[in-house]
Amino acid sequence: MPYHPMVLAGRARYPSFMNLEHQHVVIIGGSSGIGLGVARACLARGATLTLASRSPQKLAAAAAELGEARRVRTVVADATQEAEVRSLFSEHPPAHHVVVTAVQGHYQPIRELDVAAARRTIDSKLVAALHIAKHARIEPGGSLVFTTGIAAARPGPGGAVVAAANGALEALVRALAIELAPVRVNALSPGWVDTPIWDSIAGGEKEQRFEQHARRLPARRVGAPADIAHAALFLMGNGFTTGETLHVDGGHRLV
């Protein structure tokens, strides 16, 4: 059921947004990292899940890790391909909530830019979002949550493409909140989060970079997938929040 206030004796009471029993959550990019963290949180609160990813191997590993076979369905789908997104939503039950965490990040100095690689990042962030907004079947009062990132507000060297894609997605969220109402549309903007992608970005220097970054942050640590998952639960559950970007970055924008 969508999250609505119950007015009793002139006062609004709200059910816990942590309860997702009898709700179907589709997580695109749910086979690893932040998406898998969101899957764990939703499953623990009673949801039925559909996990979508381009990698059948990662999906199989995620399903095995989550365990609850009767409540976890996996679908191989590339969100940059419209036909695959159409099939994902037309061949499975309507969702109460859709969470999108999939991305192909590309970091490179602008003077050395590989335009083809940049387009893959833009497709994975922005074009995929358009496909999902077009084809997702979401129950009235449900929600669509995209993932942007700190680069939109605090870009670093080599991060122009990711910054541009994140900023465009935040603008798209505001437009979709109007057009798709009463479905609520929001974005999560994580800071640095300890996910497997950092193994390829930083390699053996990951821990050192995390320690240095944590000392700068007001929160004094980098994020974990569970931090972002908790924020996703809020956006799924709060029926009065739409068109927003929720920053979950440990205060990164302030330093």
In a domain, 39, yes or no: yes
Any idea how long the chain is? 255
12 lies in a domain?
no
pLDDT at 15 over 60: no
Q: Two tokens at 90?
A: 């037309």
Main-chain dihedrals φ then ψ at residue 181, nearest 5 degrees: -55, 140
pLDDT score recorded for residue 198:
79
Helix (H) or strand (E) holding 198: helix 197-202
Dihedral (CA of 233, 236, 237, 241) sign? positive
Mean pLDDT score, 25-44: 96
Which has the minimum average pLDDT: 66-70, 112-116, 141-145?
Answer: 66-70
The whole domain housing 121 covers 21-254
For residue 74, being part of any structural domain is answered with yes
pLDDT at residue 119 tops 70: yes
DSSP codes of every residue in 29-43: TTTSHHHHHHHHHHH
CB environment 134-169: b (16+ within 10 A), e (fewer): ebbebbeebbbbbbbbbbbbebeeebbbbbbbbbbb
Residue 14 lies in a domain: no
Q: Is 213 helix (H, G, I), strand (E, B) or coil?
A: helix
Backbone angles phi, psi at 192, to 5 degrees: -75, 125
Q: Is residue 16 part of a domain?
A: no
Q: Are 144 and 183 in contact (CB under 8 A)?
A: yes
Closest CA to 68 of 92, 88, 49, 85: 49
Q: What is the pLDDT of residue 81?
A: 98
**How far is residue 57 from each of residues 63, 119, 168, 182, 195, measured CA to CA in Å?**
10, 25, 31, 36, 18
Distance separating the N- and C-terminal Cα atoms of the chain = 40
The verdict on residue 101 lying in a domain is: yes
Q: For residue 201, give the CATH number of its domain.
A: 3.40.50.720
What integer best gives the mean pLDDT of the chain?
91
pLDDT computed for residue 16 by the predictor = 56
Could you tell me the pLDDT band of residue 120, with boundaries at 50, 70 and 90? very high
Number of domains in the chain: 1
Residue 3, domain member (yes or no): no
- Tell me the per-residue pLDDT of 52-76, one tens digit each, with 9 for 90 and over: 999 999 999 999 999 988 999 999 9
Amino acid at 72: V
**Is residue 168 assigned to a domain?**
yes
**CB 225 within 8 Å of CB 160:** no
User: Is residue 13 pLDDT above 60, yes or no?
Assistant: no
> What's residue 107's pLDDT?
86
Number of H helices, E strands in the chain: 9, 9
Structure tokens at 3: 């999250």
